[in-house]
Structure 1
Amino acid sequence: MPSVRATLLGAWPGMDPVSASRDLLNALGAPHLPVLPELPARGPGSDAIGRSAGLLEELAVDLQPHGWRLVPEPGMDHRRAVSALTTDRHALTDVAGESGIDVEDLLVRVTGPLTLAAELWLPAGERSLSDHGARRDVAQSLAAGLAAHVRAVRSQTGAVRVTVVLDEPRAAAVLSGALPTASGYRTVRSLPRSEVREAWTLVAQAVLDAGATGIVLAPGRAGAGEEWTWTDLALLASEALPPSEQTPEEEQGTAALALPLVPLEGPGSDSSRWDIVAGWTEAGRDIVFRLPAAETARASPASQPAKAMKPAEPTDNSVHPYRGTGVMIARTWERIGLDPDLLGRLVLAAPDQSASSHLKANRALASAVATAEELDRIRQDGGLG
C-alpha cells in the first residue's frame, strides 16, 4: 500500500515559472506529488481556461471581453497560451536538472471537457456547450491535444509517473442545466449523462494511452440551481473512468476522484461524501481530498488538535493551518469502519494559492505535507490506537 501523499490542486502565485518550479519541487519531494506550475498572474493564456484551450488540437481560440472564443485560425491570444504552457514545461525541466532532482512523479492539471465547453464561446455569441457538434469537437480536440501534452511532459521532464487531473468545476451546473445563456434570460439545457460519460471516458482513455499512469476526475458543485449531488457525480465518474487494474501492493491506481474534505458531523458536514470515500478506497481507487483554504481551516473546529494526541509540528496555526486535520481524518476512518491501511489511498491536496502571498502559499503546502506525513504515521501504526 502506498503512503499518504500531498500535492497542490490549483494555481501558484507570481509570474516566474522558474521560481514556482523550484518551490513546488522542493516542497513536494517523494513520496509526494509535485505539480506542473500554473501561474494565472501572468495574464491571458495562463488562466485555467486559456491554458487548457491552448491544448486543443485543430481548434483555435481568442480572448474577448466575455471570455475565450472558438475561432477559425490561431492568433496572438492562442499563441500566448501555447507559449506559456511550453515555458512551464521547460522551466520545470531546467530546475529539476540544475537541482539534481529526479522527477519520478508529476501531476498535471487541465480543465475537463464539460467545463471547457461551458466556458468557450461560439463565434455567434453562445456557449459552445449549447451546440452538440461543438461539444463533440471540444472533447475530441482536448483528448488529442492532452495526449500530446502528456507525451511532451514525459519526454521533457523524464517523469516516471504522470497523473492528469481533469478539473470540472462546472460539472454539476452542466448536468443540472444551471448555466445561463449569453442573454442571461435562459439556461443551457442539461446534458444527458451518457454524453458526459462518453466525453470523460474519451479524454481519460486518451491520457492513459499516451503514457499517463493516473487520471483524477475533479467534479465541482457551486450550489445554486444544481440538482446533481456529490453522490451523483461520484457514480457517474466511476462509470466513466477505467477500473483499477493494479493490486493493493502496487504504488498507484489508474483512476481517482477528487472531493472537498468535510467533517462527518457538525458544521459543514456531509456523511454521504464519506460513503463515497469508503466505496472508492475499498474498490482499490484513490481519493484526492481538496483541503480547505488556509483561513477556513484555521477557523474550523475540525482542524483543532485532538487532546489525546500531540499534533504534528509546527503547532502555530498560522504556520500549520491544517494542524489536527490528520487526526480528524483518522478518527472518521475508524468511525466508518475502514481498514487503516486504506489510508494509503488518500492524497491531501492544498487548494489554489494564486491569491496568496508566496509566504502563505509555501506555508499551506508545507502544512499539507506535514498533515499527510502525520496521517501516514497513523496508517503505519494501524490506527489511532
Structure 2
Amino acid sequence: MTVATGVGSYPGEDFDETLRLVLGELPDLPHLPELPARGPAATMTGRGLAVVAELGADLQPAGWRLTGSGPGLDHRRARSLLAQDLDALEERAEGLTGAFKIQVAGPWTLAATVERPRGDKVLGDRGARRELAQALAEGLRTHVADVRRRLPGVDRLVVQVDEPALAAVLDGRVPTASGFHQHRSVAHPEASAALEWVLEAAAEEGAEPWVHTCAPGTPLGLLRGAGARGLSVDLAVLSAADHDTLGEALERGETVALGVVPATDPAQDPTDAEVTESVLRWLDMLGLDPHEVGERLVLTPACGLAGATPGWVRRALPLLRAAAGHL
C-alpha cells in the first residue's frame, strides 16, 4: 500500500516530542527527525559533517570549515548531538519493526556549503571534493551499521541522501566566498561518481538508497544512474522530463516519494481528498494504476517542514497519512 513519511526537518527544539509525533503519525515509514533550530550542529550541513569519517571541521563566522586536522569543538558537538538523538530513538522506538528512514546531506550539498581550511568552498577544489565525498561514504557505512544495531527489528532501512544544492552545482550557480563570482560547474560524470560512492556505501550495508531534492532542474536520471533506488521530489516543480523519469522508475520497481503538501503553512489547508486527487491525476497522466504502484509510491511534504509552524506540522502529517490510505 501507499505510505506516508516526512522529508526530514521540523520546527522547534524539542527532539523527544518531535520523535514521538513522527512515530505516532507516520507509523508505516517513520524517520529520524532533524531540528535545525537547535543550532549549527543540527543543521543539514552540521548533521552531515557529524557522519563524515576522518575529516575534522570547525565552525567559523562564515559557516562550517574543514580544519585539516582533528574535529573542533562544534564538530564534536554535532557528533555528540547525533549520538544523543540516536540514543533517544533507540529508547522510544524499542521493538519497532518494518521500515525506518534516516537522512544525510549529500556530497555535493556538503561541498557547496563547507569551506576548505584556507577558505572558500570545498566545491572549488577537485581533490578536496573527492576526499569529502569518500569520507562521507565511509562515515555513512558506520552510521548505517549503528542505526541497524539500535533498531534490530527494522528490516527495511532507507537512507535518504539530501542534495538540494546539486542543481546549482551542475549549473555553476554556487557563489564564491567573495560573492562576485560563481564556482565552475561540475561535469555530470564527476557528480555521478561522487553520489555513487555514497549510495553504494548505503546499499552495501543493506540499506535502500534514496536521493531527495526539492530544487527544480535536478537531473533525476543522473540520480538513478548513480544508484538511487528511490527519488524524493516536490510534485509542484517537476518538468515533463522529470515525469517521464519518475514513471520509468515506478515501472521498474523503484520508489518515488512525492511531495504533495506544502512545506510551510498554506493560506488554506488542503483536504485529504484534494491531496489524493492530485496524486491520482499525476498517476493517470503517467498511465499508471495506483493499485499497481502500491508501496513504491510514498507521500511526503514538498520539502522539509523546518519553516512551518508546529500547528501546520500536526495537521500535515495526518493529512499525508489519510491521503496515502485513500490511495
Q: For residues 183-332 of structure 1, what are the structure 2 equivalents within 5 Å?
A: 183-212=178-207, 214-221=208-215, 229-230=217-218, 233-241=219-227, 255-262=229-236, 270-293=239-262, 318=269, 322-332=272-282
Partner of 1:314: none
Using the TM superposition, give the Cα deviation of residue 323 of structure 1 relative to its aligned residue in structure 2, in angstroms: 4.1
Give, in whole Å, the separation in 2 of the partners of 1:82 and 1:269.
35
Give, in whole Å, the separation in 2 of the partners of 1:195 and 1:270.
24
- Identify the match of residue 18 of structure 2 among 5, 17, 20: 20
Change beyond 3 A, Cα 1:13–1:182: same
Name whichever structure is richer in helix by fraction: 2
Q: Secondary structure at the match of 2:225?
A: helix
- Equivalent residues of 1:13, 1:356 under 8 A apart: yes
Partner of 2:53: 57
Give per-residue Cα distances to partners, 1:131-167, cap 9 Å, x unaligned.
0111011001000111100000110122222100111
- Equivalent residues of 2:162, 2:211 under 8 A apart: yes
- The one-letter amino acid of 2:81's match is A
Partner of 2:143: 149
Q: Secondary structure at the match of 1:371?
A: helix
Give per-residue Cα distances to partners, 1:252-286, cap 9 Å, x unaligned.
xxx11122113xxxxx7744332222111112211
Change beyond 3 A, Cα 1:321–1:188: farther
- The one-letter amino acid of 2:288's match is L
- The one-letter amino acid of 1:21's match is L
- Equivalent residues of 2:264, 2:305 under 8 A apart: no
Change beyond 3 A, Cα 1:198–1:25: same
Partner of 1:133: 127
Change beyond 3 A, Cα 1:7–1:122: same
- The one-letter amino acid of 1:240's match is A
Give per-residue Cα distances to partners, 1:290-316, cap 9 Å, x unaligned.
2342567x56xxxxxxxxxxxxxxxxx
Give, in whole Å, the separation in 2 of the partners of 1:322 and 1:12.
21
1:86 counterpart = 2:37: no
Instruction: Give the TM-score normalised by structure 2.
Output: 0.93
- Equivalent residues of 1:7, 1:349 under 8 A apart: yes
Partner of 1:380: none
Partner of 1:349: 300
Give, in whole Å, the separation in 2 of the partners of 1:217 and 1:357.
26
- Equivalent residues of 1:54, 1:61 under 8 A apart: no
- The one-letter amino acid of 1:284's match is G
Q: Secondary structure at the match of 2:96?
A: coil
Per mean C-alpha deviation after superposition, the further-off stretch among 321-330 and 36-45 is 321-330
Give, in whole Å, the separation in 2 of the partners of 1:132 and 1:363.
44
Give, in whole Å, the separation in 2 of the partners of 1:11 and 1:323.
25
Give, in whole Å, the separation in 1 of the partners of 2:138 and 2:325.
37
Structure 1 unaligned residues grouped into runs of 5+? 223-228, 243-254, 263-267, 300-316, 376-385
Which has more radius of gyration?
1
Give per-residue Cα distances to partners, 1:197-236, cap 9 Å, x unaligned.
1111111111111221x111123536xxxxxx34xx1111
- Identify the match of residue 334 of structure 1 among 270, 277, 284: 284
Change beyond 3 A, Cα 1:340–1:104: closer
Q: CA RMSD in A?
A: 1.9
1:362 counterpart = 2:314: yes
Partner of 2:92: 95
Structure 2 unaligned residues grouped into runs of 5+? none
Give, in whole Å, the separation in 2 of the partners of 1:294 and 1:130.
31
Give, in whole Å, the separation in 2 of the partners of 1:192 and 1:260.
24
Instruction: Give the TM-score normalised by structure 1.
Output: 0.79
Per mean C-alpha deviation after superposition, the further-off stretch among 203-212 and 324-333 is 324-333
Partner of 2:33: 37
